[in-house]
Amino acid sequence: MPVQEPFAQTVHATSSAVAPVFVRVGRPPTAPAGDDEGVPFASDRLDALLGPSGSSLTPDWTAWAEILAFGAPLAGRTPFQEIRRLQPGESAVREQDEAVIRRGTWEWTEIEPEGGLDPRTLTDEILEILRTQLRQAGDAGPLSPMLSGGRDSRLLTALAQQVRPDGLTAWTTSSDTGTSMEELVAARTAQILGVDHRIVPAAVEDFPCDARDYARTVHHMASFHMWLMPVSRAIAQSATRAGAGVVLDGLGGGVFLGGGFPDEPAVIGVGVRAASTQAVVASRFARLGRYLDATEDILAPGVGEDLRERARSDFESVARPLAHHPNGATLTAYLTRTLPGISLAPVKVLGSGAPTRTPIMAEEVVSQALRVPAEAKQEGLWYPHLLERADSRLVGLATAADRTGRRQHIRRISSLESAAWLRELILGSPAGELLSASMRVATAQGWAEELSRTKPQHLLRGLALLALWLEEYGPRLTCAEPEITPRSSVNRKARHE
């Protein structure tokens, strides 16, 4: 963790910034000077920086617009204006009781793909780096790889078995956005590799408790992984009984090894360097903001437009400098999705149960992967060779996505019981003001139907996160009415005229 001392004068983010560094950039508005003495200016826990319980806090409604639109806030925002998260290449210097953020060079932007480089020539080097990472993790105890139906998790599981087989247990659970094939393929992978395997079912009756615990664990900053709480709890219980080990998560594999989130064919056809900055940025924004396609059904008139307006500014501040970078699509996806939202799953959620490592995010792995041209990795082209060289038993083993494009089970979040709880939670909160008229009058069954679809579910998860945040911090907020409404949009425009 980059932050070691609570009263350090300078803190730095790592190249990946996966280990979060939160810094206080403003004093809580009603806290007199000296009242928050003893509160650090930087921490890996956002709540450690919020000051005394009696002080007020300023909501960052743009951060909430981005959480609703994308699943997490961008450009270092948090739900509070007083707190920021350092981004790659940034540092913060303590001046009096606040932080001054300074932006330096992000080393990953200095790496460019080498034309014609065959990723297979790097395979053995990448695998050995990963083995080294796993050996180091194994020094702390038995390894516990997360095993889904995908490629990154089976790659790490196979390598973990090679370097630290004693006490190894692979863990699987059911996501709210995946398929039942995830568990089946994971079980088949574990059987082929001969590793102990635990599938953790998620109980419908535990959903309200899991949602609340998840929201607090990620500091109300990401809406992606509520479904991980049951397995995190099971890992914590196992660690208590058998001694703490190390959880392994495949964060970063899809974006760096698998060529995920490439530019649209129209942009690729023209060439990123030749396409206009506006066209490239617009294309990347549309990809990240695809959940906004459901706003007409789920949100009140004008709210979707307000979300787009607020979210686009921060997105463009990230995407424009990378528009014509040869690794621009990859780095933009990392800064706007992987880092702000997805990374909180291993670091905070799984990390709340046991120490967690993300070996693919090692500097040596990422820097090598960025040398490979995007077209040589796109659609997972590198994975067959990586898997074959890691363990020949994985050759030809289909992923869950390969086997089915349809969801074959009722996801926990879309059960009638979960839908009824979410409906009551959101409608009873100021967050309910953002709902469409049809959602306000819809029955629990109607909510369950919307929750069974990915894009509406994303928006409703975000509203639930907002409702839980308002429930917890409402009395301390300078304004507890979301400024993400048609009325607030009109008022904001009027103030600018």
Q: Tell me the pLDDT band of 177, cut-offs 50, 70 and 90.
A: low
**pLDDT tens, position by position, 436-490:** 999 999 999 999 999 999 999 999 999 999 999 999 999 999 998 888 865 544 4
- Look at residue 355 and tell me if it is in a domain: yes
**pLDDT tens, position by position, 234-246:** 999 987 666 668 9
Q: What is the pTM of this model?
A: 0.91
pLDDT at residue 109 greater than cutoff 60: yes
Look at residue 39 and give its three-state secondary structure. Answer: coil
| Shared-domain flag, residues 225 and 141 | yes
Instruction: Pick 382 or 484 by higher pLDDT.
Output: 382
pLDDT at residue 125 greater than cutoff 90: yes
pLDDT for residue 409: 58
pLDDT at residue 2 greater than cutoff 70: no
| Shared-domain flag, residues 246 and 376 | yes
Q: What mean pLDDT is predicted for residues 12-18?
A: 94
pLDDT at residue 317 greater than cutoff 50: yes
Look at residue 237 and give its three-state secondary structure. Answer: helix
| Shared-domain flag, residues 422 and 447 | yes
| Shared-domain flag, residues 356 and 382 | yes
Alpha helices in 378-453 (DSSP H): 383-390, 400-403, 416-427, 437-441, 444-451
| Shared-domain flag, residues 394 and 419 | no
End of a domain among 336, 368, 386?
A: 336
| Shared-domain flag, residues 26 and 153 | no
- Look at residue 178 and tell me if it is in a domain: yes
| Shared-domain flag, residues 367 and 329 | no
- Look at residue 386 and tell me if it is in a domain: yes
| Shared-domain flag, residues 204 and 152 | yes
Alpha helices in 199-228 (DSSP H): 207-217
pLDDT for residue 491: 46
pLDDT at residue 399 greater than cutoff 50: yes
| Shared-domain flag, residues 138 and 197 | yes
- Look at residue 1 and tell me if it is in a domain: no
pLDDT for residue 382: 97
| Spatial CB neighbours of 352, under 8 Å, sequence gap ≥ 6 | 217, 232, 236
Domain coverage including residue 268: 257-336
pLDDT at residue 495 greater than cutoff 50: no
- Residue 189 and residue 194: Cα distance in Å, rounded? 8
**pLDDT tens, position by position, 181-230:** 788 899 999 999 999 999 998 889 999 999 999 999 999 999 999 999 99
Q: Tell me the pLDDT band of 492, cut-offs 50, 70 and 90.
A: very low
Q: How many domains does the chain have?
A: 4
Q: What mean pLDDT is predicted for residues 406-432?
A: 88
| Shared-domain flag, residues 231 and 144 | yes
Give the angle subtended at the CA of 413 by the CAs of 412 and 418, to the nearest 5°: 95
pLDDT for residue 403: 76
| Shared-domain flag, residues 135 and 204 | yes
Alpha helices in 114-206 (DSSP H): 123-138, 151-163, 181-193
